[in-house]
Amino acid sequence: MAIEEKSLYKAAIVTGAARGIGREIALTLAKRGIAVGLCDISPDVRKTLEEIQSLGVACAAEVVDISNENDVERAYESISNTLVPIDVLVNNAGIGRLNALVDYSVSEWDQTFAVNVRGPFLLSQKVLPKMMEQKNGLIVNIASIWGLRGASGRAAYAASKHALVGMSKCLSEECHPYRVRVITLCPGNVLTDLASGTDADTTDWMHPKDVADVVGYLCEPGSRAIVRNTIEVNGWGRPPEFK
């Protein structure tokens, strides 16, 4: 009996890989035998590097501000020279602040869009030429349920995630002729640092690994038919209502 493929892909870049969802995604892909390039603004990304190296899987890590074009260029060149071919990009890094729209500073608003939208734009531009050339690749953009809905106090975060969902839909159309898949995940409530300090009932909230497992599945042969989709990932928690 032939052994089934464990993964469609060879090497991935994962942003926001120092902790939370990004770290779990990186570990999940590594356990499937996918080499992983880790990007994060925090030096703690090297801890994730050590975890993956202990699994015997090729890995590289870069401390990078994904909103900075020069930083992204440097990090991509370093990772792509170490791990070949880069056929998966997971745009996971994101920031969010709760505030009424009238209370946001312009710099807070701009920074939210710089990380949550400009970063995925810059990294997608880097990986796509090779993916298109080899007619194989996967881009997973981690948006949010707030990229589909709205709520008081989430104007900057929700607007940036709506923008990421919109960019993903356009990119999926551009990539379709090249057999590059673009999938957007919109997680609901997840127990991450962004949710720290909440006074909400977190009993049914997801854990980062719940989202990571979905990304892992998208790298498996059984997911081939999922080509260009926006997927809500809510677990057993009740999805937030439309406002």
Local structure of residue 192 (DSSP, 8 states): S
Catalytic site residue from 104, 157, 178, 217: 157
For residue 179, is it left (φ>0), alpha (ψ between -120 and 50) or beta?
left
- Beta bridge partner(s), residue 11: 35
CA 23/CA 74 separation, integer angstroms: 21
DSSP codes, 32-70: TT-EEEEEESSTTHHHHHHHHHTTT--EEEEE--TT-HH
Whether the ω angle into residue 187 lies within 30 degrees of 0, i.e. cis, is: no
Burial 173-206 (b: 16+ CB within 10 A, else e): eebeeeebbbbbbbbbbbbbebeeeeeeeeeebb
Q: Which residues contact 183 (CB under 8 A, 6 or more apart)?
A: 138, 139, 140, 141, 168, 218, 226, 228, 229, 230, 231
CB 97 within 8 A of CB 156: yes
Please indicate whether residue 9 is annotated as part of the active site.
Answer: no
Q: Are 238 and 221 in contact (CB under 8 A)?
A: no
Instruction: Name the residues annotated as catalytic.
Output: 157
